[in-house]
């Protein structure tokens, strides 16, 4: 029984490490897509936390909580993905295609050109 | 039985931590998605299955199978939607990327300068 409790605590610590990494990516993530990906991982890891809490307190009702979190998290991810796709810019202007134009001579120029054509298409 | 539960728990926690570290360390949205969706799903599946073994009850095992099936069905759909949205909004790829499979293939291309 002692080994099981130790394993449970270690597993919870590891899961929380994953959650903290996801929260850091949620804060610093340069594009909106990064933030949605990290939110998706946070909801998925919360299901794992719920299962571990069920084992820690020996209350099986926490598994229902995990099922509900999984349902709502999937809907949230789908809604955010649709929102990103229909919004004007999915990224901050600071990192606009930075470094992607390996064959293009002037990277910033192509970025600004792309921005302009997008803006014109929207009008 | 305790050893089996402990192994499942530790493997689940390790995969959860790997998913988080991959999400933090990879250079690109699509690579971060690769880390978070696959490793995260496996970590959650192992944790929930260890809970099923821990309780050893029919009803709880049914719930756990339901959770695992639901996550296995919805995680690829969500990842596909996020990836499509990230590509269509021209989120920057990693700078050493040399080949973009979609770039000159179809009319839905938004990356070329027209």
User: pLDDT for A18-33, tens place per residue?
Assistant: 999 999 999 997 888 9
Whether residue A34 sits in one domain with residue A78: yes
Please indicate, yes or no, whether residues A100 and A82 belong to a single structural domain of this protein. Answer: no
Q: Report yes or no: A78 at the B interface, CB cutoff 8 Å.
A: yes
Q: Cβ–Cβ of A47/B21 closer than 8 Å? A: no
**A78 and A100 housed in the same domain:** no
Q: What is the DSSP string of A13-43?
A: HHHHHHHHHHHHHHHH-SBHHHHHHHHHHHH
Q: Do A72 and A42 fall into the same domain?
A: yes
User: Same domain for A86 and A99?
Assistant: no
A50 and A106 belong to one structural domain: no
Which residues from chain A sit within 8 angstroms of residue B38, using beta carbons?
none
Model pLDDT, residue A2: 82
Domains of chain B, with CATH numbers?
Answer: 2-88 (1.10.287)
Tens-place pLDDT, residues B6-31: 999 999 999 999 999 999 999 989 99
CA A28 from chain centre, in angstroms, equals 11
On whether both A87 and A28 belong to a single domain, the answer is: yes
Average pLDDT over every residue of A48-63: 93
pLDDT number for residue A116: 47
The number of folded domains in chain A is 2
Q: Evaluate if residue A94 carries a pLDDT over 50.
A: no
Residues A54 and A106 in one domain: no
Q: Are residues A57 and A35 in the same domain?
A: yes
Task: Identify the residue with better confidence: B94 or A61.
Answer: A61
Give the B window 27-66 contacts with A, CB below 8 Å.
29, 32-33, 36-37, 40-41, 43-44, 47-48, 50-51, 54-55, 57, 60, 63-64, 66
Does B78 contact chain A (CB < 8 Å)?
yes
Same domain, A52 and A103: no
Using CA atoms, how far residue B9 sits from B22, B48, B50, B85, B86, in Å, is 20, 9, 6, 34, 33
Could you say which of B20, B41, B54 has the minimum Cβ distance to residue A22? B20
Which residue would you say has higher pLDDT here, B91 or B59?
A: B59
Neighbours of B76 (CB within 10 A): 12
What pLDDT was estimated at residue A1?
Answer: 66
Structural domain containing residue A111 = 93-123
Shared domain check, A54 and A7: yes
Give chain A's mean pLDDT: 79
Structural tokens at position B87: 């590509």
pLDDT tens digits along A104-121? 333 444 444 444 445 555
Is A103 found in the same domain as A55? no
Alpha-carbon radius of gyration of chain A = 21
Q: Of A105-114, B68-77, B86-95, where does mean pLDDT reach its minimum?
A: A105-114
């Amino acid at each position: 029984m002692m080994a099981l409790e130790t394993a449970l605590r270690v597993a919870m610590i590891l899961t929380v490490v994953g959650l903290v990494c996801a929260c850091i990516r949620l804060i610093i993530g340069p594009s909106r897509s990064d933030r949605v990906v990290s939110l998706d991982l946070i909801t998925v890891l919360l299901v794992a936390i719920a299962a571990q809490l069920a084992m820690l307190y020996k209350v099986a009702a926490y598994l229902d909580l995990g099922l509900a979190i999984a349902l709502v998290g999937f809907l949230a991810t789908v809604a955010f993905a649709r929102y990103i796709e229909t919004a004007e810019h999915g990224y901050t202007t600071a990192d606009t295609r930075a470094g992607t134009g390996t064959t293009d001579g002037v990277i910033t120029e192509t970025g600004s050109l792309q921005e302009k054509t997008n803006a014109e298409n929207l009008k | 039985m305790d050893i089996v539960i402990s192994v499942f728990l530790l493997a689940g926690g390790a995969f959860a931590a790997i998913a988080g570290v991959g999400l933090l360390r990879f250079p690109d949205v699509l690579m971060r998605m690769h880390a978070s969706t696959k490793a995260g799903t496996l970590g959650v599946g192992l944790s929930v299955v260890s809970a099923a073994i821990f309780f050893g009850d029919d009803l709880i095992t049914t719930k756990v199978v339901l959770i695992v099936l639901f996550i296995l069905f919805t995680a690829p759909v969500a990842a596909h939607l996020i990836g499509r949205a990230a590509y269509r909004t021209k989120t920057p790829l990693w700078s050493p990327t040399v080949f973009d499979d979609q770039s000159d293939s179809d009319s839905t291309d938004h990356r070329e300068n027209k």
